[in-house]
Chain A
Amino acid sequence: MTDARESDEALMGRYARGDAAAFVLLYRRHELRIWRYLERNVGNRATADELMQEVWFAVAREAVRYEPTSRFTTWLFTIAHNRMIDSIRTSRQQVSLETLGYEAELVVQQLTTEPNVGPLAAVVVRDQAVALRQAIGQLPREQRDAFLLQIEGDLSVEEVATITQSSFEATKSRLRYARTKLRELLSEYA
């Protein structure tokens, strides 16, 4: 059960055969990545929590039908992407800078109360965290989605294009624009 080298696909196979412990391993491996992808896309913790639960429920339900024709990560982020898009379409929820700013403040409060973070480091971390969240929040939705998919899911351009149902070239452009914009927005915090 604790074999860290066991592939995600093998763990899914074990879970499909009834081994619930395999699911726990999978969840722990990918929990934070999925969470960041969702939370930074929707900019709201409560919504991200709901989506997080829906995504993993879907993973558990679909395990018996999962066929490892592609990487588990690709399949997982496809589910997350689809849920996130559905949520946005349903609620017409848009990520606002104010929301992101509010969420960023919460993160900063948590950071500055960390016992291992000194006063100076706390300031730097706070600045970077706020800057990062605000910069991501300023990206157009498609660019933000593509960037987060690639960096949180460790996905290739082709995989991101498949998940977002876009062409390879369009996806590549979105990623390039997203990074350029982020670099520009973050330059003052460098």
Chain B
Amino acid sequence: MSKLPPSQDQPEDVDDRYRRASALDPSRPSEAVRRAVLAYAARLPAERATADAGREIERTRTAVNQAWWRPAMLASLAVAALAGFLIAPRFLALRAPPVAATSSAEGSVRNTAPASVAQAPDTRTDKRAPPPPAASPERTARAPAFTRSADMRSPTGRARPKVNAPSSGATAAVAAEPASVQNPDAMGGLDARQRRAPANASATTAIAAAPRAGAAVAPTAAPADPAAAFRRAAEIGDLSGLQVLLVKQTDIDSRDAAGRTALMLATLHGQTDAVAALLVYGADPNATDASGATPLQAAMAGDHPAIVAALQRYGAR
């Protein structure tokens, strides 16, 4: 090779001959290669877009995405539940009236109309008063405050069972709650969750009125129904409330009048922690409301990417 002197003459003749021969060369890459390359190239942008969306969700996830979050939450809930079990019975025992009064009060509660239950004024000082006749509108309007006391006399120490009013009646009643019932004393030993909760969590107006009604809801119109209280706790992201009610074996998938579960309500209100807690405790991620909407659809519509991710991890569709 070193014999060949470096050519200084025009190289174009060789190049031209090469190009002419190449032009006549029918050799081509196989069709399979062409198809594979073009298919791969067409697939990549879509995969990149998906990956980018995934990264965005990962970035927007906060506590839910962290490994320590779940054990920490469970530990906190467990501590809260333990404290509740140790402390609550003392308060309940101190306020427990005679059993006879309990029976009487319970009877009065059952006899009162839903509206009267919801409009109960603060008559804490009138605990021993006899229950008003159910047929009397005036008496009904001054509904007996001892219904709350009756709640507290429950032998099990639990919240008052089923004093639920129909959805519409309760809604109006909570909204029209008199100011007198906002007296904190009227709340007695009821926890804040019960005080806040409306008679029926499904009613939008009731939800709106709940903070104003405050303590008033507790004795009578408050969700003595544990399921309603549970949904309300989910709605406002009250994790300790959720925990307490779960310990009481409240139906985790109970529904309000609109068919919404606690998970759906928590999703609608963007309560990421509550959603995560409910999923951990086995809430049905695909429970639809009366209109057929799923929690995942609600989370997407509400632009809650962290909730979307949490739901999808639990098999939401």
Contacts and interface: CB of A to CB of B under 8 A. Distances in A.
A49 B34 CA distance: 9
B37 A183 contact: no
Nearest to B42: A20
Contacts, number: 106
A60 interface: yes
Given A107-B27, A125-B24, A31 B34 contact: yes
B25 A49 contact: no
A28 B223 CA distance: 71
Interface string B2-25: 001111000101110111111011
Interface in A35-85: 35-36, 39, 45, 48-49, 52-53, 56-57, 60-61, 63-64
Given A173-B6, A179-B7, A182-B14, A32 B28 contact: yes
Interface in B11-53: 11, 13-15, 17-22, 24-30, 32-34, 36-38, 40-42, 44-45, 48-49
A182 B27 CA distance: 21
A36 B17 contact: no
A56 B38 CA distance: 9
A176 B21 contact: no
Given A111-B24, A140-B1, A179-B7, A53 B48 contact: no
Nearest to A126: B24
A136 to B, nearest CB: 8
Contacts of A53: 33, 36-37
A45 B27 contact: yes
Nearest to B13: A183
Interface residues of B, number: 35
Contacts of B41: 15, 20, 23-24, 27, 56, 60
A151 B19 contact: yes
A118 interface: no
A179 B21 contact: no
B45 A15 contact: yes
Interface residues of A, number: 46
Interface in B120-157: none
B155 to A, nearest CB: 67
Nearest to B24: A125
A110 interface: yes
Nearest to B1: A177
Given A31-B29, A35-B29, A111-B26, A179 B14 contact: yes
Contacts of A132: 17-18, 21-22
Interface string A1-41: 00000000000000100111001100100011001100100
A45 B41 CA distance: 22
Contacts of A88: none
Interface string A106-146: 01001100100000000001001100100000001000000
Contacts of B38: 23-24, 27
A35 B28 contact: yes
6 contacts: A49-B32, A52-B37, A107-B25, A128-B20, A128-B21, A182-B14
Interface of A: 15, 18-20, 23-24, 27, 31-32, 35-36, 39, 45, 48-49, 52-53, 56-57, 60-61, 63-64, 103, 107, 110-111, 114, 125, 128-129, 132, 140, 151, 173, 175-177, 179-184, 186, 190
Interface of B: 1, 4-7, 11, 13-15, 17-22, 24-30, 32-34, 36-38, 40-42, 44-45, 48-49
Given A15-B41, A27-B37, A173-B6, 12 more contacts: A18-B45, A20-B41, A27-B38, A35-B29, A36-B22, A49-B33, A52-B37, A53-B37, A107-B27, A129-B24, A132-B17, A175-B11
